[in-house]
Amino acid sequence: MAKSEKDHHHHHDEQADHSKMDHSKHVGHVYHEAQVKEGIQDHSNPSQNHEHHDHSDHSGHDHDHHHHGNFKEIFLKSLPVGIIILLLSPMMDIRLPFQFTFPYSDIVVAGLATILLVYGGKPFFQGAIEEFRQKAPGMMALISLGLSVSYLYSIYAVLARYVTGEHIMDFFFEFASLLLIMLLGHWIEMKAVGEAGDAQKSLAELVPKDAHVVLEDDAIETRPVNELKVGDLVRVQAGENVPADGIIKRGTSRINEALLTGESKPIEKGAGDKVIGGSTNGAGILYLEVQETGDQSFISQVQTLISQAQDQPSRAENLAQKVAGWLFYIAIAVAFIAFVVWLYIADIQTAILFTVTTLVIACPHALGLAIPLVIARSTSLGASRGLLVKDREALELASKADVMILDKTGTLTTGEFKVLNMETLDGQHTEAEIAALMAGIEGGSSHPIAQSIVQYAEKQGIQPVHFDSIDVVSGAGIEGNANGRKYELISQKALGRDVAVDVPKGATLSILVEDGNPIGTVALGDELKETSRTLIQALKHYNIKPIMATGDNETAAQGVAEKLGIEYRANQSPQDKYDLVESLKNNGQTVIMVGDGVNDAPSLAIADVGIAVGAGTQVAIDSADVILTQSDPGDIESFIELANKTTGKMKQNLVWGAGYNFIAIPIAAGGLAFIGITLVPAVGAVLMSVSTVIVAINAMTLKLKN
């Protein structure tokens, strides 16, 4: 077929008019909002460039704790030292069966504890400094308090033994066990959650590094893309990614913009049409004039939106952080009261002992494992269902979500054009005969919709009719001769009259004409995924309002939305989707965004929870908190269930983990001493162990239905 397919398949594209993003609209108003918020960046890396944020940074100050070194490495290196301390140091003055001592073993323990404090304690002290900077002491402050008090008092106890000869109980065992358990808890959580990808980097990779610039004498010069200027003429070879936003001056080709705009099929483009940098050229060679470079380009605007989104703090309450904050203030207050009271009714030594015991008992051994163990179990369960959860706060936020925004193409629909129905009109031809004729006349075309007709016939086992000649009908379709008859496959508009068939909403209708008489029709469109309907029902069950937001045109969007019975927004650019999520969040709603393309990346990043469909782009995956590896909408339902059950288990574990502390702290301070009840150290240790075991067992009981 020598002629261009542009006219040939004009009829296929007329109903699927692509809404192009107005990327001449500069998102300059975004820039002033994108200032880095104090305290959100990763303080462990002072040289970090603010323009390249790890996605995990936008989840608030708690998430920063995971950036203070590699917890696995710190834990494994601290473990041998910690074990020696546990073997040599009695637990609250009670020697356990596996423990032993020798002359000056307490000095050895003091030396090892100093090493452990400096090396293993560093990430907790760094985290505590950040919490105090942000005026929100929590888990890190509480751990640091326990480590400092138990270490300092124990050093004092050892010195007193040798200076005064007086035996004073030390807390080296509690110090080492607290440090090891906290390092283990953070390692478990890091391993479960993993690290976020770099959406900015993946975006940059869409644009080629070099461009083929056409010089005045028609010679070609290869030049780095960042050196392109507005007005340069660039040649784009078949199969190459377009190097910059521009206007086609010569040539025609089909441009695949699906990764960028969400439009589900390649668009036929020629002279005068705009193309977006990062889109993929089809079989033709294009000459385009560069229109936008640098900050003005489509890709750069999307990067700006992502950067702005990632600088926003998370709205997750972070219950563990809250509970730890309460414990911190309670421990300080109770310890102070205990010191004053016991100083008044006894002596300084008694006052110090009760004060230190109170602060050591406040150390959250069980609390430190309460959340990481649930996260580890939840992550494992999710992975078995094809759900990869990158940010644990996504689970908490999803459990109280109000709205879910869903992309259409590739998320709710397959993203592939298929024959939705084929009908015979004249009663003289069977549906199989119609399919054979259509497959025959379309057999030589590489057009995606033509190919879907050919594939439909193949699946039905129908042999295409052999055509003697095939020609393009300008602006209408295609015609050919077979078995002495003339056939045309054209649009309803080209036919000039309506045919009495029901066209699915959003579908493209083509009509087969034999010697001037319509004999059959084919409706083609993007199919709903099988699990899309059940997902919408599940969302309504969880009181989450579904809204579909798509780059597709009004007709295509309305068709899918009506089938599912949901609200929709059509012709959505990346900026539009971003604005939609932002406006819902500003109205106090907790928003989940589901998408798969570059056009979804900014809204995935700014949403409270971003869910990337795994078959989508790396940019979308990097911007999201959750990845659906199997690209099945039904997995979103599993994620919502997982989020609700995980959050429930977290709350239960916080009760078990912190409950012990809330009860033990006042008793440790001697609050019940007036009726003869004090917290015997051994009983305190047993209670601490029991609460840790209960927390572990409770985490393991987390299950999903089916």
Q: So which residues are the catalytic ones?
A: 407
CA distances from 135 to 131, 320, 325, 567 (A): 6, 17, 11, 42
- End-to-end CA gap in the chain: 54
State which H helix or E strand residue 505 sits in.
Answer: none
State which H helix or E strand residue 214 sits in.
Answer: strand 210-214
State which H helix or E strand residue 267 sits in.
Answer: strand 267-269
Cα(349)–Cα(353) distance, rounded to whole angstroms?
Answer: 6
Q: Please, how many CA atoms are within 13 Å of residue 120, restricted to the half-sphere of its CB? A: 31
Q: Where are the alpha helices (DSSP H) in 422-518?
A: 431-442, 448-459, 492-495
Q: Are 614 and 628 in contact (CB under 8 A)?
A: yes
CB burial of 584-597 (b: ≥16 within 10 Å; e: otherwise) equals bbeeeebbbbbbbb
Cα(419)–Cα(452) distance, rounded to whole angstroms?
Answer: 7
Cα(181)–Cα(175) distance, rounded to whole angstroms?
Answer: 10
* CA-wise closest residue to 28 among 294, 232, 291: 294
* CA-wise closest residue to 359 among 380, 389, 328, 382: 328
Q: Are 477 and 451 in contact (CB under 8 A)?
A: no
Say which DSSP state 688 is in. H
Cα(538)–Cα(355) distance, rounded to whole angstroms?
Answer: 53
* CA-wise closest residue to 365 among 524, 80, 175: 175
Cα(635)–Cα(646) distance, rounded to whole angstroms?
Answer: 16
Handedness of CA 564, 566, 571, 575 (dihedral sign): negative
Cα(583)–Cα(587) distance, rounded to whole angstroms?
Answer: 6
Cα(705)–Cα(88) distance, rounded to whole angstroms?
Answer: 47
Cα(309)–Cα(609) distance, rounded to whole angstroms?
Answer: 12
Say which DSSP state 468 is in. S
Contacts of 387 (CB under 8 A, 6+ apart): 626, 627, 628, 629, 635, 638, 639, 642
Cα(445)–Cα(467) distance, rounded to whole angstroms?
Answer: 13
Other Cβ atoms less than 10 A from the Cβ of 614: the count is 19
Q: What's 134-184 look like in SS3?
A: CCCCCHHHHHHHHHHHHHHHHHHHHHHHHHCCCCCCCCHHHHHHHHHHHHH
Coarse DSSP helix, strand, coil percentages of the chain, rounded to the nearest 5 percent:
50, 15, 35
